[in-house]
Amino acid sequence: MIRILWIDPWTTTVGFAIIDKEKQDYNIIDFGVFSTTPKISINIKLLEIWNDIKEIIEKYKPDIISVEKLYFQNNAKTAIDVAQARWVVMYEAMKYNLDIQEYTPLQVKKAITWHWQAKKLQLQRALKIIFKLDKIPKPDDAADAIWLAYMWGLNS
């Protein structure tokens, strides 16, 4: 069995999912978001993210961490802040000697729906079917985290 931690890094909310994979079977252990304190400096937000990531790694002891690669077209400030949050996640993963995998949103869309222009709702419906869930996981950042943990499983 392999335990995968997937992180969808942002500065206000950080989506996460813990999934166990054994052969071709997937089991969602936990998912959700970490929220940072609103309207505080990026430095404090990064510290909050760092503490949350450390806590989840210590609680669930994953074997692998999968992190979404960044893609921004317009807002440089947001891109820099999110890149810093991503760095915090990756640094903490390296401290625990976790194997780090990275995927773009387009790779996920194509792997799960076979179409790179898939909408978020299409991905969420596929997720519901794949994991035999009663409803689509919420919030969206948590659902995003589940996709990427599943993506790692497809490539392993």
Question: In three state form, how does the secondary structure of 22-78 look?
Answer: ECCEEEEEEEEEEECCCCCCHHHHHHHHHHHHHHHHHHHCCCEEEEECCCCCCCHHH
89-118 burial, b if ≥16 CB within 10 A, otherwise e? bbebbeeeebeebebebebbbebbeeeeeb
Catalytic annotation, pick one of 20, 48, 141, 144: 141
Would residue 8 show up in a list of annotated catalytic residues for this protein?
yes
User: pLDDT: is 72 or 5 the higher one?
Assistant: 5
141: domain CATH number? 3.30.420.10
> Given this model, what pLDDT does residue 10 score?
85
pTM of the model: 0.81
Model confidence at 156: pLDDT above 80: no
Would residue 52 show up in a list of annotated catalytic residues for this protein?
no
Would residue 144 show up in a list of annotated catalytic residues for this protein?
no
Model confidence at 35: pLDDT above 80: yes
% of the chain with per-residue pLDDT over 90: 36
| Structural domains of the chain, count | 1
Which of 40-49, 76-85, 113-122, 125-134 is the least confident region?
113-122
Domain enclosing residue 69, as ranges: 2-155
Catalytic annotation, pick one of 8, 48, 52, 144: 8
**DSSP code of 82?**
H
> For residue 30, what are the β-bridge partners?
18
> Given this model, what pLDDT does residue 93 score?
95
At which residue do the structure tokens 């890149």 appear? Answer: 83
Catalytic annotation, pick one of 48, 68, 92, 144: 68
User: pLDDT: is 23 or 76 the higher one?
Assistant: 23
5-33 burial, b if ≥16 CB within 10 A, otherwise e? bbbbbbbebbbbbbbbbeeeebebeebbb
